[in-house]
Structure 1
Amino acid sequence: MTIREFKMPDVGEGLTEAEILKWYVQPGDTVTDGQVVCEVETAKAAVELPIPFDGVVHALLFEEGVTVDVGQVIISVETGPAGGDEAPAGSEAAAPAAPAAAAAPAEEEPVAEGRQPVLVGYGVSTASTKRRPRKAPAAAQNGTAPAAPAVVPAQPAPAAAAPQNGTAYANGNGTAQPTAERPLAKPPVRKLAKDLGIDLAAVVPTGDGGVVTREDVHAAAAAAITPQAPAPAAAPAPVAAVVPAPAETAPAVPATARETRIPVKGVRKVTAQAMVNSAFTAPHVTEFITLDVTRTMKLVQELKEDPDLAGLRINPLLLIAKAVLVAVRRNPEVNASWDEAAQEIVLKHYVNLGIAAATPRGLIVPNIKDAHAKTLAELSTGLSDLVATARDGKTSPADMQNGTLTITNVGVFGVDTGTPILNPGESAILAVGAIKLQPWVHKGKVKPRQVTTLALSFDHRLIDGELGSRFLADIAAVLEHPRRLVTWS
């Protein structure tokens, strides 16, 4: 048998790291070529990773919740004699190691130079010759930890604790952490216990199979602060609780906590970096216009009753998107990007229309490819698919690349409008405010009308005040008189 290694691929054209959200396999499981083995979170999307060969899972090198650099080995698989060519000749990777090696310094074995396994849509990268720590043995291949006295590692344990499946995980200093018998608990529960200063070994488990639950930890924390409770290492409650990423369920914050610290990673980290780069690279200008959209709202209701559009989601955002596309056709110069390296303006003859979407992992901006060429029905389908995919956390990196213009509908939160920051690489972004019934002068009389405010931010290197004003005015003109969707098309 030989050991083949699967490395974290670049699933987003230039990404440098990804967080392992969930493992779908454990040591001892049989896997086949193309089988999904884990889910990872990249810059702004959750992606399932398939393994590119057959075999039996030998080891998982990282826990759930750990951020891994692209190119690092995340899983090793035992394959047959005809398995891969990545294991070097004479490698001892497939041979069982002596139990005493668990407490000895980790040996190193070479990883043959070769090509990174190719996944569909992930591209190809070349892996240089590296040396990795050998997995510590003494873990049963059936994924259960044998009953044995606790093993004290020779070096300090890494921040991420080893899982309860009997697998040893590589730590950051190039050594292997031996597996020791300890209470069963999921990583978020371990983190909660650490934040509350609770020793899991002293917690009475109530979960299936003797697993410690969140409720068990909270019960232990409550008992620790009661007067009659014993006081072994009774540390005061922390003043700052650390909560997981937005994708996780945040633990309860102690009543005495004065601060909460949230790790900046995943979507929030990448979004923050992108917004800073955009704000301090492109000179932003924002213009506003308040308009009467009563006719557009009436058209929305009429389209909902149109049998030809039955089953489609018809809403104001659909007609706003269509108005933006009509305005782009009348002002094509707004649909451009700035090439700093070449000192050129790149005029786009297509519109990949971005729609800002709030998700549990944070704000993302997927875009509808070639929106300019779509009918109203096709645009409706594209919007529905985009929103559904984003909410499910299944938006792919490709869906968020190469956008040209963006719409952000802040009106759904009840606000009038805002000053949006450009999505990096794009020329303009339109913020749509809440549509409210307001007094409005209509045909010489003050009447209640449906009114909203639009805010257009644009890159002043590409779009001057005149062009930006014309573009925004055209969007408003279409929404005030939606028949122009036909006459101007």
Structure 2
Amino acid sequence: MTIREFKMPDVGEGLTEAEILKWYVQPGDTVTDGQVVCEVETAKAAVELPIPFDGVVHALLFEEGVTVDVGQVIISVQTAPGAEAPAAVEAVAAAPAAAPAAAEAEPEAPAARQPVLVGYGVSTASTKRRPRKAPQPAVAAQNGTGVAHAAAAPAAPAAPAVVPAQGGAGKALAKPPVRKLAKDLGIDLAAVVPTGDGGVVTREDVHAAAAAAITPQTVAPALPVAPEVPAAAQAAPVQVPAEVSGSARETRIPVKGVRKVTAQAMVGSAFTAPHVTEFITFDVTRTMKLVQELKDDPDLAGLRINPLLLIAKAVLVAIRRNPDVNASWDEAAQEIVLKHYVNLGIAAATPRGLIVPNIKDAHAKTLGELSQALSGLVATAREGKTSPADMQHGTITITNVGVFGVDTGTPILNPGESAILAVGAIKLQPWVHKGKVKARHVTTLALSFDHRLIDGELGSRFLADIAAVLEHPRRLITWS
């Protein structure tokens, strides 16, 4: 038997680490090439990882909830004799006492070519980051000498490693995110009273147990999660596990994952691209009437029709009339890169935080296709299944801050994009229409743009065209 190792791949664009959310296999299970063995979470998305060879799981090297660097071995598999194996097998589960000796006695062998599963494969470049505690391997081979020893003695295959028990026969029933929440809050799931169907422990049960363990004054109020908020706009609070300080007078929330990357991206964008924001307030009563007519159209039955759909279409029409707004700034080459396609970003809030997936080639889609793409994008995001590829290569973004009832905002550009449109709340207001004051549906749009790419004239014309289409939606046809 041969022991093969599977390393954490780079599941995004230059990401350096990922957290293991859930294992789908255990030691002793048979796996086949392409079978998903675990789900990991990066700073951008949750991704399922398939194993690139057949065999029997020998050991899981890290527990759920542990953050692992790209390139570290996360699972070892026993394969049949003669199966293709790496040129050298590294010791990945050695006992603490034996690890230093093994490291000195056996120099690192050239790494075998790692199959590219997601994204761009394992990065070979070193990446500097702040030091953090090294994650401890979850399991090791039972003989205590690790995988390297097992590989050196093929006549006596190592027994499958055993994953630490999580409750044994009395294991509490709970989904992986709930288990992670309990672990972060230091709550023993076995001691939590379940209220879910079939005796399943819910997030609310864990929070209740955490609240019972401390005085009411030490519990911070729940932070709201918005239905649709831009990652590129001002960061809204998201619900994340909190660590209560010893003084019980403040709550500290770890900055990691999506929140950490969003913060870094917004700081970089704000201090790199010279932002300019312009506003326009106008009458969208005709657009609201058209939304209702389209909802009643049998040809569009089953599609989600809402104002955001027509706003997205208006943006695409305005880009066609002002193509120079759809560009990016290449600092290294000192070039402006004009994009002849539109990857339209739509902000969405998820349990993981705020993300902005984009609709690829939105400019080429019909109204029905755009509706389907919007619905799929939002549903996938809220399920936490958005892939890193869905969030890459956006060209322009729409952020709907109106869902909070606010009039508008001054959004920050997504890095690499030229503009972002904030859509305010649509409200009935007194408005002069045909010489008389009437109640009309009115909204305010705010366009932030990179002044290196878009000057005041171009930005103003682009914003005015979006408003013109929404004020007189027949222009969706006459200007297309």
Q: TM exceeds 0.5?
A: yes
> Measured at CA, do residues 295 and 433 of structure 1 come closer, stay the same or move farther in structure 2, by a change above 3 Å?
same
For 1:231 and 1:295, the matched residues in 2 are separated by 45
> Measured at CA, do residues 99 and 249 of structure 1 come closer, stay the same or move farther in structure 2, by a change above 3 Å?
farther
SS in 2 for 1:189: helix
Distance apart, 1:194 and its partner CA: 8.3
Distance apart, 1:57 and its partner CA: 1.1
Asked if 1 retains the 8 angstrom alpha-carbon contact of 2:65 and 2:180, the reply is no
For 1:231 and 1:274, the matched residues in 2 are separated by 27
Larger mean Cα displacement after TM superposition, 320-329 or 202-211: 202-211
Aligned to 1:162: none
> Measured at CA, do residues 398 and 122 of structure 1 come closer, stay the same or move farther in structure 2, by a change above 3 Å?
same
For 1:282 and 1:473, the matched residues in 2 are separated by 23
C-alpha deviations, 1:240-283, integer Å up to 9, x for none? xxx99999999999998322222211111111111111011000
Asked if 2 retains the 8 angstrom alpha-carbon contact of 1:23 and 1:38, the reply is yes
C-alpha deviations, 1:285-328, integer Å up to 9, x for none? 11111111000000000011111111111110010001111111
Distance apart, 1:217 and its partner CA: 9.2
Distance apart, 1:60 and its partner CA: 1.2
> Measured at CA, do residues 280 and 313 of structure 1 come closer, stay the same or move farther in structure 2, by a change above 3 Å?
same
TM-score by length of 1: 0.74
For 2:224 and 2:346, the matched residues in 1 are separated by 48
- Please say which structure displays the higher CA radius of gyration: 1
For 2:359 and 2:377, the matched residues in 1 are separated by 8
Larger mean Cα displacement after TM superposition, 467-476 or 104-113: 104-113
Asked if 2 retains the 8 angstrom alpha-carbon contact of 1:224 and 1:234, the reply is no
Distance apart, 1:151 and its partner CA: 15
Q: Percent identity?
A: 91
> Measured at CA, do residues 457 and 53 of structure 1 come closer, stay the same or move farther in structure 2, by a change above 3 Å?
same
For 1:418 and 1:233, the matched residues in 2 are separated by 24
User: Structure 1: any 5+ residue segments left out of the alignment?
Assistant: 156-179
> Measured at CA, do residues 306 and 209 of structure 1 come closer, stay the same or move farther in structure 2, by a change above 3 Å?
closer
For 1:388 and 1:233, the matched residues in 2 are separated by 24
Asked if 2 retains the 8 angstrom alpha-carbon contact of 1:110 and 1:129, the reply is no
Aligned to 1:168: none
For 1:79 and 1:222, the matched residues in 2 are separated by 48
Asked if 1 retains the 8 angstrom alpha-carbon contact of 2:90 and 2:108, the reply is no
> Measured at CA, do residues 325 and 32 of structure 1 come closer, stay the same or move farther in structure 2, by a change above 3 Å?
same
Distance apart, 1:123 and its partner CA: 4.0
Asked if 2 retains the 8 angstrom alpha-carbon contact of 1:86 and 1:111, the reply is no
Select 1:248's aligned residue among 234, 240, 255.
234
> Measured at CA, do residues 203 and 12 of structure 1 come closer, stay the same or move farther in structure 2, by a change above 3 Å?
closer
For 1:60 and 1:140, the matched residues in 2 are separated by 10
C-alpha deviations, 1:391-436, integer Å up to 9, x for none? 1111111111111110001111211111100011000000001111
Asked if 2 retains the 8 angstrom alpha-carbon contact of 1:335 and 1:404, the reply is yes
Distance apart, 1:31 and its partner CA: 0.9
> Measured at CA, do residues 417 and 188 of structure 1 come closer, stay the same or move farther in structure 2, by a change above 3 Å?
closer
Aligned to 1:14: 14
Larger mean Cα displacement after TM superposition, 223-232 or 2-11: 223-232
C-alpha deviations, 1:211-256, integer Å up to 9, x for none? 9999999999999999999999999999xxxx99999999999998
Asked if 2 retains the 8 angstrom alpha-carbon contact of 1:288 and 1:455, the reply is yes
Distance apart, 1:119 and its partner CA: 2.1
Asked if 2 retains the 8 angstrom alpha-carbon contact of 1:410 and 1:434, the reply is yes
SS in 2 for 1:99: coil
Larger mean Cα displacement after TM superposition, 86-95 or 458-467: 86-95
> Measured at CA, do residues 324 and 40 of structure 1 come closer, stay the same or move farther in structure 2, by a change above 3 Å?
same
C-alpha deviations, 1:332-373, integer Å up to 9, x for none? 111111110111111111111111111111111111111111
Distance apart, 1:125 and its partner CA: 5.8
For 1:132 and 1:410, the matched residues in 2 are separated by 34
For 1:32 and 1:209, the matched residues in 2 are separated by 32
Asked if 2 retains the 8 angstrom alpha-carbon contact of 1:371 and 1:379, the reply is yes
For 2:344 and 2:132, the matched residues in 1 are separated by 48
Larger mean Cα displacement after TM superposition, 97-106 or 317-326: 97-106
For 2:470 and 2:62, the matched residues in 1 are separated by 53
C-alpha deviations, 1:426-450, integer Å up to 9, x for none? 0000000111111111111111001
SS in 2 for 1:37: strand
- Write out aligned runs for 1:31-42 (5 A): 31-42=31-42
Distance apart, 1:453 and its partner CA: 0.7
Asked if 1 retains the 8 angstrom alpha-carbon contact of 2:8 and 2:69, the reply is yes
For 1:411 and 1:233, the matched residues in 2 are separated by 22
> Measured at CA, do residues 40 and 254 of structure 1 come closer, stay the same or move farther in structure 2, by a change above 3 Å?
closer
> Measured at CA, do residues 7 and 128 of structure 1 come closer, stay the same or move farther in structure 2, by a change above 3 Å?
farther
Distance apart, 1:200 and its partner CA: 10
User: Structure 2: any 5+ residue segments left out of the alignment?
Assistant: 146-155
Larger mean Cα displacement after TM superposition, 376-385 or 278-287: 376-385
Larger mean Cα displacement after TM superposition, 50-59 or 247-256: 247-256
For 2:36 and 2:15, the matched residues in 1 are separated by 20
Asked if 2 retains the 8 angstrom alpha-carbon contact of 1:47 and 1:396, the reply is yes
Between Structure 1 and Structure 2, how many residues are aligned? Answer: 458
Larger mean Cα displacement after TM superposition, 316-325 or 112-121: 112-121
For 2:310 and 2:133, the matched residues in 1 are separated by 58
Select 2:281's aligned residue among 270, 290, 296.
290
Asked if 2 retains the 8 angstrom alpha-carbon contact of 1:417 and 1:431, the reply is yes
Aligned to 1:102: 99
For 2:225 and 2:324, the matched residues in 1 are separated by 62
Aligned to 2:318: 327
TM-score by length of 2: 0.75
For 1:273 and 1:132, the matched residues in 2 are separated by 14
> Measured at CA, do residues 246 and 257 of structure 1 come closer, stay the same or move farther in structure 2, by a change above 3 Å?
farther
Larger mean Cα displacement after TM superposition, 113-122 or 50-59: 113-122
Larger mean Cα displacement after TM superposition, 4-13 or 125-134: 125-134
> Measured at CA, do residues 213 and 150 of structure 1 come closer, stay the same or move farther in structure 2, by a change above 3 Å?
farther
Aligned to 2:385: 394
> Measured at CA, do residues 111 and 329 of structure 1 come closer, stay the same or move farther in structure 2, by a change above 3 Å?
same
Distance apart, 1:13 and its partner CA: 2.7
For 2:220 and 2:459, the matched residues in 1 are separated by 68
C-alpha deviations, 1:107-144, integer Å up to 9, x for none? 97666432112326544666999999999999788999
SS in 2 for 1:422: coil
